[in-house]
Amino acid sequence: MLKKQNIAVIGSGFGALSAAIRLVSQGHNVTIYEKLDKPGGRAYQYELNGFKFDGGPTVITAPHQYDELFELAGKKREDYLTFVPLDPFYRIFNGNGDHFNYWRDQDKTEQEIARFSPSDIQGYRIFLNKMNAIFEWFHPFTEKSFSTLFSFLRIFPYVFKTGTWRSMYSFASMHVKNDFIRKILSFHPLLIGGNPFDTPSIYGLIIGFEKEWGVHYCLGGTGAIVNALCRVFEDSGGTIKLNTEVSRLLIEKNRISGLCLANGSVVKTDSVVCNGDIAFCYKHLIPHENLPRALNLWLNNIQYSNSLVVIYFGTKKKYTDSRLSHHNLILGNDYKKFMKDVFSRKKMPRELGLYLHMPSATDPSIAPEGCESFYVLSLVPNLDGKIKWAEIIDDYTDKILNFLEENYLPDLKENIIVQHTVSPLHFASTLNSFKGAAFSIKPSMAQSGYFRPQVKSKWFKDLYFVGAGVHPGAGVPAVMASGKIAAADISEINQI
């Protein structure tokens, strides 16, 4: 029989919602404490003058993960949400403005490769077969913790056999010659805060996720998914407290026994699930004197992902006749140097590396009639870069909008009627992310699998983490999986 617990969940990102719905459906008393005025975390949806802008995730894969949560609550996802498959998944532009449609269908993608480099088709087939095998092999490991080093070391013979210790770009380069095609086959780490030139190609399993389950858009935006999951959670008996920041964790010996809220109240708990950034939690929610030396050492040595500047903008005219698709990646010519600047040198790159989201191409309800809704995301260094964001953000925003106007969206600036920009400072101060990292801990080999924090805290009893900073990593499918792992761990522990 399961012992009913009082569980506090800090934050309301996808990792939190995945854990909270499972825990409440297992019969626990679950309360979510969210510091912001709306749920979702990085998936916060801004509503400005009739436009809706998804703050973060837009590429939705693995719809079965959502289905599972609705089923646990005795409901059907289709009654709440409509997912629309997108094809092409992405339109990728090179530095000359030529574009490549990245389709789900292999033949169609091969036709695209043939336009740029017919001799690379054979290599692409081998690459794809290997990526499919990697997906088959590694996918099960994304749904459980690596509880021992041995459990992690077991994967290494396979990693060596398949060469997946190589970086994504190097792995792609083994199979295709054309540089644009190499970039196209290796960009996926960027979706989770990794540099294609040093992220191990195990993370190519994202390619498998997309091939297996497709890339989807949810009508009403990703915010509609967040709202539906919150409804399901509350209808199942859970409580959400918005505008409620957790300021401290209560510790008794080595156990987390409750929370102190910023408004001064104290909440006693049996377990705490922290969806806030793991480094921020250890550094700011637990008094320094309570941190073991080894934990401090670890905190001082972790490497963090890049950050982002994101401009949400709505135009008073439609751009349906433009060259753009729903998901657009705009890569520069000096790609390798760009990545080095963002990820290693941590200085502002000269070129831009952009993702441009145009959801109103699929869903007119996201913008007022006759208008178009966009967001453009620019990869930038995290706050280790010591860039004076408050001083440069206006000029940087202008640089991006000018670039888009000159190359993709004619007369853009005179047609913008609503605009909101966030810089790395937003990730640091609004979302409490250490160093303003947009994707938490960087996905390197030394910070993956067993070497990434697991959901169950190694240092404090009854403390669990869900979200981008723990195994299996950043990205919505991964953080949803961390919520699943946490709920299973909590209930197993209390099986009596």
In the complex, the residues that contact ligand FAD under the rule CB under 6 A are 10-16, 33-36, 41-43, 56-59, 191, 245-246, 275-276, 308, 310, 377, 431-432, 438-439, 467-468, 474-476, 479
34-40-46 Cα angle (round to 5): 110
Element (H or E) spanning 251, and its range? Answer: strand 246-252
Rank residues 377 and 418 by Cβ distance to ligand FAD and give the closer one: 377
> Residue 375 in contact with residue 314, Cβ under 8 Å?
no
For residue 242, give the 3-state DSSP assignment: coil
Spatial distance between the Cα atoms of 17 and 40, rounded to a whole number of angstroms = 9
Place of tokens 């869903």: 363
Spatial distance between the Cα atoms of 261 and 275, rounded to a whole number of angstroms = 15
Rank residues 195 and 275 by Cβ distance to ligand FAD and give the closer one: 275
Shortest Cβ 475–ligand FAD spacing (Å): 4
Shortest Cβ 104–ligand FAD spacing (Å): 16
Could you tell me where the beta strands, DSSP code E, fall in 393-494?
Answer: 416-422, 463-465
The strand pairing partners of 267, in sequence order, are 259
Tokens of 415: 């047609």
Shortest Cβ 263–ligand FAD spacing (Å): 11
Shortest Cβ 34–ligand FAD spacing (Å): 5
Rank residues 159 and 379 by Cβ distance to ligand FAD and give the closer one: 379
> For residue 166, which phi and psi values (nearest 5 degrees)?
-65, 155
Shortest Cβ 96–ligand FAD spacing (Å): 26
Tokens of 423: 């810089």
Shortest Cβ 338–ligand FAD spacing (Å): 18
Spatial distance between the Cα atoms of 258 and 1, rounded to a whole number of angstroms = 24
Shortest Cβ 288–ligand FAD spacing (Å): 17
Rank residues 43 and 69 by Cβ distance to ligand FAD and give the closer one: 43
Rank residues 15 and 123 by Cβ distance to ligand FAD and give the closer one: 15
Element (H or E) spanning 184, and its range? Answer: helix 179-186
Number of helices (H) and strands (E), helices first, in the chain?
Answer: 17, 19
> Residue 311 in contact with residue 299, Cβ under 8 Å?
no
Rank residues 162 and 482 by Cβ distance to ligand FAD and give the closer one: 482
Rank residues 123 and 189 by Cβ distance to ligand FAD and give the closer one: 189
